[in-house]
Amino acid sequence: MSDDIKVPSVLVENVSKWYGQVIGINDVSLAIEGGVTGILGPNGAGKSTLFKLLMGRIKPNQGSVKLFGIDPWEDTSPYRRIGYVSESERLYDWMTGQDFVSTLARLHGMTRNEADSRAEHVLEFVGLYDVRHKEIGKYSKGMRQRVKIAHALVHDPDLIILDEPLHGCDPIARTSIMNVIKELGNQGKTVLVSSHILEEIERITEQIVILHNGRLLALGNIYAIRDLLDKHPHRIMITTEEPRKLANAFIGEEPIYGVRFPEEGKLEIQTNDLSAAHSVLPRVIVESEVKVSRIDNPDDNLESLLEYLIGG
Partner 1 sequence: MSEDLIDLDGGQTRMEAAYGSDDGDEDLFAITAKREASVGAIFEQNYRPWDGDFGPRWVRNYAIFRHHVFGLFSSKGHRNYNPFIRLTILVIFIGAISPIAMLFFSSLFGAEPDGFIDKMWGVNRSNLWGQVLGYFPRNLCYWPLLTALVVGGMISDDRRNGTSAIYFSRPVTRVDYTMMKYLSVAVVLGFVIIFSYMLYYTLAIVFKGEGWGFLIDTLPMFLAGLLCSILLVITYTSIGLALSSISQSRFFSAIAFLSIIYGTKLVALLIDLQFETSILYILSPYDCLAHFGQWMLGLELNYSHSLSLSVVSLILMNLVSILVLVSRVSSLEVTRE
CB 271 within 8 A of CB 277: yes
DSSP H or E stretch at residue 83: strand 82-85
**Residue 80, Cα to own-chain centre: how many angstroms?**
23
**Residue 310, Cα to own-chain centre: how many angstroms?**
17
CB 261 within 8 A of CB 268: yes
CA 230 vs CA 56, 224, 225, 273: distances in Å: 38, 12, 10, 10
Q: Does 106 bind partner 1 (CB under 8 A)?
A: yes
Q: Does 208 bind partner 1 (CB under 8 A)?
A: no
Q: Does 185 bind partner 1 (CB under 8 A)?
A: no
Nearer to partner 1, 185 or 255 (CB): 185
In the set 10, 104, 160, 247, which binds partner 1 (CB under 8 A)? 104
Q: Measured from the CB of residue 31, what is the shortest distance to partner 1 in angstroms?
A: 21
Rg (alpha carbons) of the chain, rounded to whole number: 24
CB 54 within 8 A of CB 86: no
Region 263-302 residues binding partner 1, contact defined as CB under 8 A: none
Using CB under 8 A, which of the segments 175-183, 196-204, 206-214, 290-298 binds partner 1? 175-183
Nearer to partner 1, 99 or 299 (CB): 99
CB 216 within 8 A of CB 28: yes
Q: Does 61 bind partner 1 (CB under 8 A)?
A: no
Return d(Cα 51, Cα 212) in angstroms, integer: 15
Q: Does 109 bind partner 1 (CB under 8 A)?
A: yes
Q: Does 107 bind partner 1 (CB under 8 A)?
A: yes
In the set 6, 187, 252, 293, which binds partner 1 (CB under 8 A)? 187
In the set 14, 61, 77, 221, which binds partner 1 (CB under 8 A)? 77
CB 69 within 8 A of CB 11: yes
Q: Measured from the CB of residue 96, what is the shortest distance to partner 1 in angstroms?
A: 8
Q: Does 139 bind partner 1 (CB under 8 A)?
A: no
In the set 118, 144, 226, 234, which binds partner 1 (CB under 8 A)? 118
Contacts of 133 (CB under 8 A, 6+ apart): 96, 97, 98
In the set 114, 253, 273, 307, which binds partner 1 (CB under 8 A)? 114
Q: In degrees, to the nearest 5, what angle opens at C-alpha 298 toward C-alphas 241 and 259?
A: 55
Which parts of this chain interact with partner 1 (CB under 8 A)? 19, 48, 52, 55-59, 76-77, 79-80, 82, 84, 86-90, 92, 94-95, 99-100, 102-104, 106-111, 114, 118, 121, 124-125, 127, 153, 155-156, 179-180, 183-184, 187
